[in-house]
A and B are shown apart, each in its own frame.
Chain A
């Protein structure tokens, strides 16, 4: 439902009133901002000496960019593996077999409940005993596994609820042309469910990207840890965190826009309720 259905276009009086309210609101917000800046300045937090180190080649070449690279690597891998996990267990929860349904449901509920951080630390401690992964790759593997299990479970839930939200006619038509139930799921329903759920999935992508920051505790050298380290070495941790936050906001914003564009393109191909103009940012999201 687009916003415009909810109200009439504002008339001249309403528009005039809005202008006044806007002016007052802007003055209040800007005033508070300036007041905060003045206070921060009094505490010396705006000193150029604290900010300048953040805009040097050293800061970016040795801290922020390598950190960003690691964040993107872990996030990229996790998005792919979590997607596969989500489809597999989403299908499992929709299976005709009661055993498979219960098992998939149990796995999904369990991994949705355990904090990602604890999963990461657990894998970090457990994997070396299997002697499969080189110590160098261990933090990355543990981070990706933790993110996969949690976000994969969320994706599985999205797949399931997406299929449930499809019009019943889709399955009926598939069965009518002679597809088996599993074929109907695989070929007709799940693809549409994924497309319908893209907005929610987009939000979860942001969560994956940010949650790579939890890897810091198991020595994964991601962006936030790099910013912290830079701030520790230069005595400007607050300023370093501000820069890191800006980078995170920017990257996540790009990621959301990308997912939205994708949703807009493929949204037309579904018979479900999802429309191209549907919840651009609508979320059924959980993050950790």
Chain B
């Protein structure tokens, strides 16, 4: 096994860096969109609730590869939508878009389970002191829901990190594409190649898991 030559021949670290970038941007956007969706799903307006539910049903149940392919071949390939004037960068952002809309559905559900941990008394008290829906959601419910949803949100982040490899379907040069290329050129080092990628992800993901677990304990609302 010649690990050294794999790293000198192929830009393994660079590929992982692309995955980190994809994860970073998609995580931020998915958190925002997912929060909006969660608020829609608990809002007083029936049509908003319906729209939120429909969104989650459609996006969560579609395979991510298909979503990414539609983003690239559909939005760009057919409708001509571009998110960046740079040819390659455009695919990066289209993939971020695909990852975002998909994981937002999961963020929404994670938040809803967080909302479920907030005792009814909190909402009743919020209304009793005269807060409307917006204020009670913003000031009372969501802050507690976020703290209760740290663990499931951590799970979504872990999934997102690994799912960023699907961006290869969106023409982003990241680890899974490189993996394919390395197998093509160095079939003799197959086992070493797989070990490199498996441990790369273990190194990336295990800290996220450990951090969110301890964070969820520390932030848990004592009841």
A interface residues (Cβ-Cβ under 8 A, vs B):
1, 3, 5-8, 10, 14, 18, 21-22, 25, 36, 39-40, 43, 45, 109-110, 112-118, 121-122, 125, 154, 157, 161, 199-200, 203, 206, 210, 213, 224, 238, 241, 244-245, 248-249, 252-253, 256, 273, 278-279, 281-288
Contact B201 A287 (CB under 8 A): no
Give the interface SS of chain B, mostly helix, strand, loop or mixed.
helix
Interface residues in B56-95 by Cβ distance below 8 A to A read 56-58, 60-66, 69-70, 73-74, 78-80
Shortest C-beta distance, B32 to chain A (Å), equals: 18
Shortest C-beta distance, B116 to chain A (Å), equals: 4
Contact A200 B44 (CB under 8 A): no
Contact A122 B198 (CB under 8 A): yes
**Contact of B63 (CB < 8 Å), options: A10, A121, A224, A256:** A224
Q: What are 28 A-to-B residue pairs whose CB atoms are below 8 Å?
A: A1-B115, A1-B123, A3-B41, A3-B42, A5-B120, A5-B124, A6-B136, A6-B141, A10-B44, A10-B45, A39-B79, A39-B80, A40-B79, A110-B202, A121-B194, A241-B69, A241-B70, A245-B62, A248-B63, A249-B57, A252-B60, A278-B116, A282-B109, A283-B106, A283-B112, A285-B110, A286-B159, A288-B159
**Contact of A6 (CB < 8 Å), options: B78, B137, B151:** B137
Known pairs A118-B194, A249-B57; list 15 more (Cβ under 8 Å): A1-B119, A6-B123, A6-B133, A8-B44, A25-B47, A113-B158, A113-B204, A125-B194, A200-B152, A248-B66, A282-B109, A283-B113, A286-B159, A287-B163, A288-B162
Nearest residue (CB) in A for B205 is: A113
Contact B158 A112 (CB under 8 A): yes
Contact B61 A279 (CB under 8 A): no
Residues of B within 8 A of A21 (CB): 45, 47
Residues of B within 8 A of A241 (CB): 66, 69-70
Contact A213 B152 (CB under 8 A): no
CA distance A44 to B133 in the complex (A): 47
**Contact of B78 (CB < 8 Å), options: A45, A112, A279, A285:** A45
B interface residues (Cβ-Cβ under 8 A, vs A):
41-47, 49, 51, 56-58, 60-66, 69-70, 73-74, 78-80, 106, 109-110, 112-113, 115-120, 123-124, 127, 132-133, 136-137, 141, 151-152, 155-156, 158-159, 162-163, 165, 176, 190-191, 194, 197-198, 201-202, 204-206, 209-210
Knowing A22-B47, A287-B159 are in contact, say whether A118-B197 is a contact too (CB < 8 A). yes
CA distance A89 to B57 in the complex (A): 31
Contact A281 B158 (CB under 8 A): no
Knowing A6-B42, A253-B57 are in contact, say whether A284-B198 is a contact too (CB < 8 A). no
Shortest C-beta distance, A239 to chain B (Å), equals: 11
Nearest residue (CB) in B for A197 is: B113
Contact B78 A43 (CB under 8 A): yes
Residues of B within 8 A of A157 (CB): 155
CA distance A192 to B141 in the complex (A): 27
Contact B116 A282 (CB under 8 A): yes
CA distance A252 to B151 in the complex (A): 24
CA distance A238 to B45 in the complex (A): 36
Knowing A1-B123, A39-B79, A109-B210 are in contact, say whether A281-B202 is a contact too (CB < 8 A). no
Contact B44 A283 (CB under 8 A): no
Contact B133 A7 (CB under 8 A): yes
Shortest C-beta distance, A233 to chain B (Å), equals: 18
Shortest C-beta distance, B98 to chain A (Å), equals: 13
Contact B110 A283 (CB under 8 A): yes
Shortest C-beta distance, B128 to chain A (Å), equals: 11
Contact B198 A154 (CB under 8 A): no
**Contact of B123 (CB < 8 Å), options: A5, A117, A161:** A5
CA distance A216 to B42 in the complex (A): 38
Residues of A within 8 A of B158 (CB): 112-113, 286
Shortest C-beta distance, A138 to chain B (Å), equals: 16
Nearest residue (CB) in A for B154 is: A286
CA distance A224 to B46 in the complex (A): 35
CA distance A244 to B70 in the complex (A): 13
CA distance A15 to B182 in the complex (A): 61
Shortest C-beta distance, B134 to chain A (Å), equals: 9
Nearest residue (CB) in A for B109 is: A283
Nearest residue (CB) in B for A154 is: B155
Shortest C-beta distance, B102 to chain A (Å), equals: 9
